[in-house]
Homo-oligomer: A and B are copies of this chain.
Amino acid sequence: MAAPGEALPAQQDLLLAAAFVCDAQYNRNIPFETSPQAVRLYYLYNHWTMQAATYFFVFVNLSLAVFEDPAVYPLPFLATSLVEVLCLLVFFSRLLHFAKVTPRNIFWKDAKNICLMLAILVTLTDLIIHGTLKICNITSVRYSRIMRPIFLVNFTESRQMRRAFRSIRNTLPEITYVFLLFMFSVLMFSLMALKLFGDRNLQTVEGSPYFTNYLEIVFDLYVLVTTANSPDVMMPAFDFSWWYSLFFITYVIINTYIFMSVFLAVVYNNYRKHLKNEIRKLAYMKRHKMVEAFNILKVKEGSEFVVKESQWKQVVKLVAPEISTSHRELLLRISDDEQKGYVDKKSFVRLADLLNIQVITMKIRSHPLEHWLPHVYNSAASRFLRSMVRHKRFVWTYDVIILINAIFIALDEENPLISYAEWAFLSLYITEILLKLYTYEPRTFFAKNQFWNWFDTLIIIAALVATILNAAFKSTSKYNGQQVLDIVFILRVLRLIRIVDSIQRFRVIMNTLINIVPTMLTFGGLALVVYYMFAIIGMEVFQGKIQFFAAGSTDPHALECGNVALKDSTFARAKYCKNNFNDIASSFIVLMELTVVNQWHVLAGGFARVTHQAAKLYFIAFHIVVVIMIVNIFIAFILEAFFVEYSLEKSEVETAIEKKIQELGVGVQEEELLDGKLIDNMETTENNLEGDGIKTSRGLVFKIASKRYRTVDALLQRMFEAEIPSEDEGLSFNEILNLSPADVYPKSPTFDSAA
C-alpha cells in the first residue's frame, strides 16, 4: 500500500487513486502494487477487452469436450490439442500479467494462483503423455480434462462463483454431520427391513427376491428417500399385510420429509452465513480502498481533510470515462451538497456506490415526426390516433387479440384459412408496434430498461422473418424446413407471454423473477462446473457401453441398447437407450435427468449392469452433490432473493441520488415515460430548469434505472455498509481477511432476526 507521502507525480497520484476507486466500484480485490508501471498494468489487466478475451478462451477450453473423442462433432486430436495449448498459453500469460500487478508475497500466498499454475502444468503434462501414447497407438485416459472448470472458477470476473464455492466448502462440516445421521437412519431402517421382510419369501413385481440382500436394501431405501421407487418398493410388503405399509410411511416421513428439510435448513443457514461474511468482507474492503484513495488526494481545508473539486472530477473521468458530463455534474452536486468546491471524506467514500447506480441520462426530445412534419403530426386526426393508442382500451383490445390468436394456434395447421389467419395476426402485431412508435418517442420506447418493448418487438420481427422464410421454403422446394417451422411455432407461442405483462399482479411476480436472473446465472456457473466434472468422469467410465439405434433399426441388439447385459432390464424396456454417456451433450442430458431424480435408479441400474455394481456409487455421489447440495443452494438462493425483495425498499445511497434528482427537478418516473405524459410535463416545467446551477440542457432528465436490475448481492452489500462506522478508518487489510462468520451473527436476537 502506498503511503501518502511517497513521491509520485501528481498525474500518477490521480491514476493510483482512480485505480483504488475503480477497484472499490467493481468490488475487485486486487492488492496491486503502487508503482506507476504496476498501476498502468493494473488498468490494462482490468480492461474489458482483456476480460472478454479471458472469458472467450475459458469458454473455448470448456467446449473442447464437444470435439474431443467421444465427440459430438469429431475433430482430429492434433486440432483439439493445439487449441488447448493455445488456451493454456493465454491462461498462463493472464496469470503472468496478474503477477506483474500484484506484490510478490501476496501473489504467492493466494491459493487461487497456485491452483491455476498447477492446473496449467498438469494439463500440459497430460497432453504430452497422451499425445506420445497416441503415437504409439496406446489409448490412455485424458484425466486432466476434469480440471478445466478450474479456469472458469478461478479466472475472470467469476468472483461470485468463487465465493459460492468457498461458502459450500465452509458449509461442508455441518452438512456432513447431518448426512452421517441421515445415513445412520437409512442403515438402521435397512437392517429392520432385512429382519422384517428377509425371510418372508416375498417377490418384487419383476419376480426377484424381495429385501434379502442388505446392500441392495440400503440402495433401495436410499432410492426411496429420493421417492423415485415409491410406491413400488413398498407394494410386495403392503400386499402381504397392510401393517407393513406403516414401516415405509414412517421411513418416508423421517428420511424424506424431515431429513431433506433439515438439509435444506442447514445448507440455507450455513451458506447464507458464510456468504454474508464474504460480502461483509467486500464491504469493508471497499471502504478501505476508498479511504486509501482519499488519503492520496486529500488536502487540508480548514480543520478537515477534503478533496478538491477539480481532482475529484479528474478521478471520476479516469474511473468512468463513459459517463456523460451532466451525469458527472449530478454526482458532484450530490457529493458536494453545499457547493463548497470540495468533497469531504464521508461523501468521497460514497463515490464507489454512486458510480454503481445506473443513472440514465435522457434527452427529452419531441417526436421526430413532430420535427419533420409538425402539421401532420399535430393535426386533429393524429392527436386522436395518439390518444387512442395511449388509452387503456388499446391494451385490452390487443389482449383479446392475443387470446384469439392462442385459440388459432391450437387449431389445426393444415386448414388454409388458419394459415391465412396467421398472416392477419402478424400484421396486427406489426401495426401495434408501428402505432406505438408513432405515439411514443422511439428512443424512449427502446430505452435500455424497457424490457417488454424490446421483447415484443424482437419476437414479432423474428416471427415475421421466420414466417416469410418458411413460406419461401414451402413454395420453392420439397424441403419442408422443419427447423424453421419449429422456430416459428415457438415464437408464435412466446408472443402469448405479453398478456402477463398487462396484469399488474403478474408483472410484480415477473419482475421479481427477472431480478433473480443474475443470481441464477452465478448458480448456473456453479452447476456447469459440477456437471462438467461428472460428465467427463461419466464419459470415461460408461462411454460406448450403451448404444442408441434409431427407430426402425434392424440391428438384433437394438432392443437391448446394443448390450446383451441389458436384456430384459427395466432400462431397456423403458427404451432409455439414448440416455448414455457417449458424448458430452448426451452426458449433460443424462445428468439433468439424474438431477430431476425420477427414475434415476433405473438409469443407475442400467449402467451398473453394463459395467459393475459399483457404478451405482457414481450415481449416488451425483445425487449427494447435486440434489442434496446444489439444488438446495439453488432453493436457498431463490428463497433469499424473494425475502430480500419482500423486505427491502430502495437502499440509502440510491435514495440520496433520487432526492437530489428530484430536488433539481430533473427526475422522471418510469410510468410517465411510458404514458407519454413526460413530454407534456417537460413542456410546462421547462423554464424552471433553465438557469439552474447544474447546466441542464433543455429537456435533459435523469432517471434511476429500474429496481429490476438490482441483485441480491448488491442489496446485501449495501446493508452491510450501514454497519460500518462511517468515521472509522475501517479495519486493516489483514483484519478484514480474517473476519469470521460468527461475527456476522446478530448478537442480540430481535424479532427481526427471526423474521
User: Residues of A at under 8 Å CB distance from B?
Assistant: 177-178, 180-181, 184, 188, 191-192, 194-196, 199, 205, 214, 227-232, 234-235, 238-239, 242, 245, 249, 252, 256-258, 261-262, 264-266, 268-269, 272, 276, 406, 409-410, 413, 486, 489-490, 492-493, 496-497, 499-500, 505-506, 509-510, 513, 548, 550-551, 573-576, 578-579, 585-586, 589, 592-593, 596-599, 631, 634-635, 638-640, 642-644, 646-649, 715-716, 719-720, 722-723, 745-746, 749-755
- Given A230-B596, A257-B634, A258-B513 in contact, is the A754-B716 Cβ separation under 8 Å? yes
Q: Are A578 and B191 in contact (CB under 8 A)?
A: no
Q: Are B719 and A750 in contact (CB under 8 A)?
A: yes
Q: Are A598 and B228 in contact (CB under 8 A)?
A: yes
**Bound-state Cα–Cα, A649 to B754, Å:** 12
Cβ–Cβ < 8 Å partners of A276 in chain B: 755
**Bound-state Cα–Cα, A745 to B649, Å:** 12
**Bound-state Cα–Cα, A752 to B722, Å:** 12
**Bound-state Cα–Cα, A180 to B504, Å:** 13
Q: Are A230 and B752 in contact (CB under 8 A)?
A: no
Q: Are B509 and A647 in contact (CB under 8 A)?
A: no
Q: How far is the CB of A475 from chain B (nearest CB, A)?
A: 19
Q: Are B192 and A256 in contact (CB under 8 A)?
A: no
**Bound-state Cα–Cα, A230 to B576, Å:** 11
Cβ-defined partner of A262 (8 Å) among B261, B550, B638: B638
**Bound-state Cα–Cα, A115 to B506, Å:** 35
Cβ–Cβ < 8 Å partners of A406 in chain B: 191
**Bound-state Cα–Cα, A550 to B202, Å:** 12
Number of copies: 2
Q: Are B646 and A269 in contact (CB under 8 A)?
A: yes
**Bound-state Cα–Cα, A252 to B573, Å:** 24
Minimal Cβ-Cβ distance residue in B for A240: B551
**Bound-state Cα–Cα, A227 to B265, Å:** 23
Cβ-defined partner of A199 (8 Å) among B227, B272, B413: B413
Q: Are A589 and B642 in contact (CB under 8 A)?
A: no
Q: How far is the CB of A534 from chain B (nearest CB, A)?
A: 16
Cβ–Cβ < 8 Å partners of A631 in chain B: 257
Minimal Cβ-Cβ distance residue in B for A257: B634
- Given A231-B599, A576-B235, A751-B720 in contact, is the A242-B585 Cβ separation under 8 Å? yes
- Given A230-B596, A635-B264 in contact, is the A509-B195 Cβ separation under 8 Å? no
The 17 sampled A-B contact pairs (Cβ below 8 Å) are A177-B506, A188-B497, A191-B493, A205-B574, A227-B598, A228-B598, A231-B576, A232-B574, A235-B578, A242-B585, A257-B634, A261-B639, A265-B639, A276-B755, A716-B754, A719-B751, A746-B752
Q: Are A177 and B413 in contact (CB under 8 A)?
A: no
Known: A268-B639, A722-B750. 17 other contacts (CB 8 A): A191-B409, A192-B489, A192-B493, A196-B489, A205-B574, A230-B593, A230-B597, A231-B598, A231-B599, A238-B578, A239-B551, A245-B589, A719-B750, A719-B751, A723-B751, A746-B755, A753-B753
Q: Are A264 and B230 in contact (CB under 8 A)?
A: no
Q: Are B265 and A754 in contact (CB under 8 A)?
A: no
Q: How far is the CB of A374 from chain B (nearest CB, A)?
A: 44
Cβ–Cβ < 8 Å partners of A499 in chain B: 184
Minimal Cβ-Cβ distance residue in B for A594: B231
**Bound-state Cα–Cα, A276 to B754, Å:** 10
**Bound-state Cα–Cα, A24 to B496, Å:** 56
Cβ–Cβ < 8 Å partners of A192 in chain B: 489-490, 493
Q: Are A265 and B719 in contact (CB under 8 A)?
A: no
**Bound-state Cα–Cα, A192 to B188, Å:** 47
**Bound-state Cα–Cα, A426 to B177, Å:** 30
Q: Are A509 and B268 in contact (CB under 8 A)?
A: no
Cβ–Cβ < 8 Å partners of A513 in chain B: 258, 262
- Scoring A499, A640, A644, A750 by chain B CB atoms within 10 A of each residue's CB, the highest score goes to A750
Cβ–Cβ < 8 Å partners of A181 in chain B: 500, 506, 509-510
Q: How far is the CB of A520 from chain B (nearest CB, A)?
A: 8
- Scoring A230, A631, A649 by chain B CB atoms within 10 A of each residue's CB, the highest score goes to A230
Q: Are B249 and A592 in contact (CB under 8 A)?
A: yes
Q: Are A754 and B231 in contact (CB under 8 A)?
A: no
**Bound-state Cα–Cα, A722 to B752, Å:** 12
